[in-house]
Amino acid sequence: MNKATITIAVFIVVIIGGLLIWRSSGLEVFNVSTEAGQETVAESTESVPNTIVSMISEETLAAHNTGSDCWVSYAGSVYDITDWVGKHPGGEDALIRVCGESTAFEEAINGQHGPSRAERLPEVGTFMGTLGIIEGAQS
Ligand code: HEM
């Protein structure tokens, strides 16, 4: 073996060794972050209301159709805006007409304000769940 061959062999060993060390330390970091992630999941399951999204039927939405009990749906998300109905700068009547509605509420807000105004729903109301048909649900 000449000097050049030995140099190349040492170089290859150093590169492969370096790669192995880097990879195993990378896996350690990954394991640590996985554990941290699991802890986070474990913590968040303790506050169950944050992790479960309710499915709300059209019938349930339609039952909340007054100024003192007002749910509305926009793009499939249902919000309880009861506490805000009386604070709407455009008056409560504009909203009371569309309490309990999905399509009619969307048309009303899009027509009056444009779709971007609906982005304020999480701020002015409480997210209640997702509008959907529950297969086999008994009412
Ligand atoms: C999340 C829902 C809604 C929010 C956050 C909202 C917010 C506002 C705000 C801030 C104003 C004051 C004027 C302005 O800045 O444009 C306003 C006015 C008004 N809103 Fe709404 N609104 C909502 C839904 C609706 C709906 C569904 C209607 C039904 C047609 C409506 C009808 C009106 C009317 C008639 C006015 C007064 C005229 C005008 O300024 O456009 N709003 N609303």
pLDDT digits (tens, 9 = 90+) for 45-66: 455 555 678 899 999 999 999 9
Question: Which pLDDT score is estimated for 45?
Answer: 45
Helices (H), the chain: 3-46, 58-63, 82-85, 92-96, 103-112, 121-124
What's 113's domain CATH number? Answer: 3.10.120.10
Decide: 88 in ligand 1 pocket, CB within 6 A.
yes
C-beta of 90 in contact with ligand 1 (< 6 A): yes
Q: With a cut of 70, say whether residue 124 has pLDDT above it.
A: yes
Does 137 score more than 70 pLDDT? no
**Residues 44 and 75 both lie in one domain:** no
Does 139 fall in a domain?
A: no
Q: Are residues 61 and 44 part of one domain?
A: no
Does residue 136 have its Cβ closer than 6 Å to ligand 1? no
- Please give the tally of structural domains in the chain: 2
* CB neighbour list of residue 129: distance below 8 Å, 6 or more residues apart: 53, 54, 55, 56, 77, 78
Query: What does pTM read for this prediction?
Result: 0.67
CA 56 – ligand 1 centroid, Å: 25
Within this chain, do residues 125 and 72 fall inside the same structural domain, yes or no? yes
In-domain check, residue 101: yes
Residue nearest atom 11 of ligand 1, based on CA coordinates? 89
DSSP 3-state of 91: coil
* Domain span holding position 43: 3-50
Same domain, 84 and 29: no
